[in-house]
Amino acid sequence: MNSIRMYHILIWLIAGIIFGLLAIKDQSIHARLGNPSELTGYCLLVTIVFLAFFNIRKRLSMLPMIGKASTWFMLHTVGGFFVLAVYWLHTKTIWPTGMYEKSLAILFYLTVTSGIIGYLIQQIYPKLLTQTGVEVIFERIPLRISKLRQKAEETMLKCCNKSGVETLGKHYLDTLQWFFAEPRFTFQHLIGSQRSQQWIQHQDNAVRRYLNIDEQKYLNELSQLAYQKNIIDIHYTLQGAMKCWLLIHIPLTSALMLLSFWHFLVVNVYAL
């Protein structure tokens, strides 16, 4: 067991112990006719604020003393599950009754759900990306696609010029041009399907029988470029998904934070 794994287990363990102590304290306060919601509420608020700081930390990456992003991500993940448990401890119910409390619950659950989905994405997709054997910076994907398209068109033109036959050129215009135009098979890549590779293979097989040996060499090059493009597509899709889920998670967090502050205010005015 490596040290990182040990480190993760330790953080989970600490979170579990803190929650256990909190639950015991909650029960103790309840048994002494106190108001445990006050303790769990403030604990919940502090934890949510801490989780929200993860986004700010990303903007302050130039600061050396605030820890690694991976550590923050780990803390964010553990904190996310911790906050869900504390929420149930705080409300003592899965579904509250008041209108604004229901709204708060909806926002909370949506934020947590999007967070869990994001967590799963962050756990699964990097492994899939590693399996491609290629590293690509997301912002350079358009350039990479553009270069591959350029190479594919050059290859196709070379073939036509040398062989004097338009078979491969026509085939490219009918099928591969669409493929090289932009990232394709997005949904299939999201779900880990091999459909795109089958499609490339199918296009290869479909035209190969009509080509002579020289033309087949160009077809081989084209297929190689198509497979490279397919890998870039996988990167685009998976890296895009790893960014896109934040389009839901962060706005929800923003709304949740604001409504949590309102809850804090209302509770202090009306009940504490």
Cα–Cα dist 21/17, whole Å: 6
In angstroms, give the least distance from the CB of 191 to another protein.
21
Residues that bind another protein (CB under 8 A): 30-35, 96-101, 133-140, 142-143, 145-147, 149, 181-183, 228, 231, 243-244, 246-247, 250-255, 257-259, 262, 265-266, 268-272
In angstroms, give the least distance from the CB of 181 to another protein.
7
Amino acid in position 178: W
In angstroms, give the least distance from the CB of 29 to another protein.
10
In angstroms, give the least distance from the CB of 236 to another protein.
10
DSSP run (H or E) holding 12: helix 3-31
Would you give the DSSP letter of residue 173? I
The pair of three-digit structure tokens given for residue 161, joined into one six-digit string: 């010029």
Judged by CB, which is closer to another protein: 8, or 147? 147
Long-range contacts of residues 129-135, Cβ cutoff 8 Å, at least 24 apart: 129/234, 129/235, 129/238, 129/239, 132/231, 132/234, 132/235, 133/231, 134/231, 134/232, 134/235
Q: Give 43's contacts (C-beta < 8 A, 6+ positions apart).
A: 22, 86, 90
Cα–Cα dist 208/88, whole Å: 62
In angstroms, give the least distance from the CB of 135 to another protein.
5
Cα–Cα dist 123/241, whole Å: 12
In angstroms, give the least distance from the CB of 3 to another protein.
27
Cα–Cα dist 272/266, whole Å: 9
Judged by CB, which is closer to another protein: 84, or 259? 259
In angstroms, give the least distance from the CB of 179 to another protein.
12
Cα–Cα dist 67/114, whole Å: 25
Would you give the DSSP letter of residue 272? -
Amino acid in position 109: Y
